[in-house]
Amino acid sequence: MQVLCAVSLLLASVRLEAQQTPHARTTLAAEIRDSTDRILREAVTDRAFPGAYAVVGDSRGMLAQLGAGHLDWARSPRPSRYTLWDLASLTKVIGTTTALAQLIESGRVQLDAPVQRYIPAWTGPGKDSVTVRHLLTHTSGLPAFRPYDRETHNADSLAALLFDTPLERAPGDSMVYSDIGAFMMGRIVERVSGQRLDRYLRSHVFAPLRMTETMFNPPRSEWSRVAPTEFDSTRGGLVRGKVHDERAYYLGGVAAHAGLFSTASDLSRFASMLLHGGALGGHRVLGARTIEQFTAYADSGRHNRALGWQKPPAAWAGRLMTSRAFGHTGFTGTSIAIDPELDLYIILLSNRVNPTRDNPKIGDVRAHLADAVVSVVRARRGPPLNADHQ
């Protein structure tokens, strides 16, 4: 079986190289750019968002990148590869999941160990049965979120409320996507590493990958290139330069579930690292086996969850990505989709919550973009070996 797998990978590599002559790659890139441009322009016209920027690439680098619209509905610059976007829940996978994967890979955290092994003070009915795996798969029994920001704006009090949240169901009973579970994942990273989450990520993930524009709490000097998000009268109007998520905002801008800002260029480096088996530019961030472990279906496909990551079916995957694909979305209008079988990544960055979160059109945009790009890739490269598209 190992020999057959090796031969299959070799044949796939040879075929891909044959199809990726400079002329073929240029043609592929042009077709992807045309399809992406059309979809983004239509989305702006449909008022799905004021502006967006998309990047499509593979293990060899970017294939196409372009923006549409403007950073705000008012007179404002056009999006570029250097625009800073509020990633919202992409923080969970770009940051928190990656950090926890590193600690599990190094043996400092055990995937099936109880959370109380690392945070003994996290007590309450049923919590002794919650494992790290439960947090990563959103099956811990914790609720989705609680509007604690309506009770307090004090960071310590808010953190205490999140920490003390009781379970709503038995661990492993069902999947409920939980910001509070992500909060606890961040607490494990901080307790085991001895570093605050933002400092750990900067030194162990972002610096090695030269992701110099990925950060929490961008300095005021950078706010002019930040895409503004929602109009919030409680916070003085249009939110810009500060995290959109209220809980993350009142926690001080650094949170495990939201808070990261980044650019298309930086996120392209992150996606390339994952397609390269965890290394980029001579720096290894994760092992290839760890990536495979964290991006496979965590429950035999019963839910569309991996460890931290999401799996198809999902809007970001469209209808054509394979079962090896993994990705995630952010509430502000961001998404990342990576398909190792197709050697492809698609990053969409937008501020669809501008001026209000009551705008559900981003789901269709994500799906249309994924299908358009994958259709071009399949037409130009042919179907992947062992294709199993959804």
Q: What is the pLDDT along the chain (390 residues), one digit of tens a residue?
A: 444 444 444 434 444 554 558 888 999 999 999 999 999 999 999 999 999 999 999 999 999 999 999 999 999 999 999 999 999 999 999 999 999 999 999 999 999 999 999 999 999 999 999 999 999 999 999 999 999 999 999 999 999 999 999 999 999 999 999 999 999 999 999 999 999 999 999 999 999 999 999 999 999 999 999 999 999 999 999 999 999 999 999 999 999 999 999 999 999 999 999 999 999 999 999 999 999 999 999 976 578 999 999 999 999 999 999 999 999 999 999 999 999 999 999 999 999 999 999 999 999 999 999 999 999 999 988 766 544 444
Cβ contact 75:274 at 8 Å = no
**pLDDT for res 367:** 98
Residues 289-301 as b/e (b if ≥16 CB within 10 A, e otherwise) read ebbebbbbbbeee
For the chain, list the strands marked E by DSSP: 51-58, 61-69, 85-86, 215-216, 231-232, 237-238, 260-262, 279-280, 283-284, 326-330, 334-339, 344-350
Site of tokens 């829940």: 89
CATH of 21-381, one of 3.40.1190.20, 3.40.710.10, 3.20.20.70, 3.20.190.10: 3.40.710.10
pTM of the predicted structure, to 2 decimals? 0.93
**pLDDT for res 281:** 94
Cβ contact 85:262 at 8 Å = yes
Q: How far is CA 311 from the centre of its chain?
A: 12
Q: Provide CB contacts within 8 A for 208, sequence distance 6+.
A: 283, 284, 285
**pLDDT for res 292:** 98
Picking from 280, 281, 283, 272, the residue whose alpha carbon sits closest to that of residue 340 is 272
Kindly report the CA angle at 99 between 130 and 203, in degrees rounded to 5? Answer: 150
Cβ contact 87:332 at 8 Å = yes
Distance between CA atoms of residues 230 and 358, nearest Å: 10
Site of tokens 């050697």: 343
Q: Provide CB contacts within 8 A for 132, sequence distance 6+.
A: 100, 104, 109, 110, 111, 112, 113, 115, 118, 185, 188
Site of tokens 């509905």: 73
The tokens describing 141, both together, are 């029994």
Q: Provide CB contacts within 8 A for 152, sequence distance 6+.
A: 158, 161, 250
For 13-93, list the strands marked E by DSSP: 51-58, 61-69, 85-86
Q: In what order do the strands lie in the sheet with 334-339?
A: 61-69, 51-58, 344-350, 334-339, 326-330
Distance between CA atoms of residues 296 and 91, nearest Å: 20
